[in-house]
Amino acid sequence: MEAFTVRSLHLPLQRRLGDLSHGMRIKAALACALPFRPKLLVLDEPFSGLDPLVRDEFMEILVQQSGETTVLISSHELSEIDHFATHVGFLDEGQLLFSETMADLTERFREVRVTLEQAASAPDPIPSDWLCVRAVGSVVSFIDSRFSEETLGERIRSLLDGVRNIDTQPMALRSIFTTLARSLRDRTT
């Protein structure tokens, strides 16, 4: 593991730690923690108050220097972590609802738009793995939380008549989270 240098972190030697900006203090804390090669590094909202350049530098340093360290990040800034996270856990009111690899999570969630030959209406009953179902004009849209390329078309055609087109789009982590949070909130209200 390449050692940190004050120069590589762009930390000013002439300033006291208390006089550094928030972003500089975060970098200094990371520089202090990683040389000890901890097995687990817990970061709670590490991006809060950081400008985009410092966020990018922070993540670059963290990824390059973490080595065998498991880094647990608790964050609401999901767009900041979705390109490097390997595992994701979803907490709701202190309960862990699921924990899985980022690859598995993003593989099983898809935005789906079904264009019909006639006016659209949602199937009744709505499958439990279809979230945020909407019918507007001739389009039924939903989030499939158990996406399977092999069975989606057949399943949709068994629930909806006159299917003209099925379009699916992958989802970013932030979109998956907001979909799940909205779905949980709607169930409890």
Q: Which domains does the chain have, with CATH numbers?
A: 6-85 (3.40.50.300), 105-188 (3.30.70)
Q: Measured between alpha carbons, how far apart are the two ends of the chain, in Å? A: 51
pLDDT in tens, 123-159: 999 999 999 999 999 999 999 999 999 999 999 999 9
More confident residue, 54 or 132: 132
pLDDT at 5: 54
More confident residue, 70 or 12: 70
Nearest to 91 by CA among 180, 167, 153: 180
Which residues, including other chains, have CB under 8 Å from residue 140's CB and lie 6 or more apart? 113, 114, 116, 120, 121, 122, 133, 134, 160
pLDDT in tens, 154-189: 999 999 999 999 999 999 999 999 999 888 887 766
pLDDT at 115: 97
pLDDT > 70: percent of the chain? 94
pLDDT bucket at 1, cuts 50 / 70 / 90: very low
One DSSP character per residue, 52-119 reads HHHHHHHHHHHHHH-TT-EEEEE-S-HHHHTTT-SEEEEEETTEEEEEEEHHHHHHH-EEEEEEESS-
Is the distance from CB of 168 to CB of 155 less than 8 angstroms?
no
pLDDT at 6: 58
Q: What is the pTM of this model?
A: 0.75
Residue 55 has pLDDT above 70, yes or no: yes
- What are the φ/ψ torsions at residue 165 (nearest 5 degrees)? -155, 145
Range from 8-12, 78-82, 130-134, 169-173 carrying the lowest mean pLDDT: 8-12
pLDDT bucket at 7, cuts 50 / 70 / 90: low
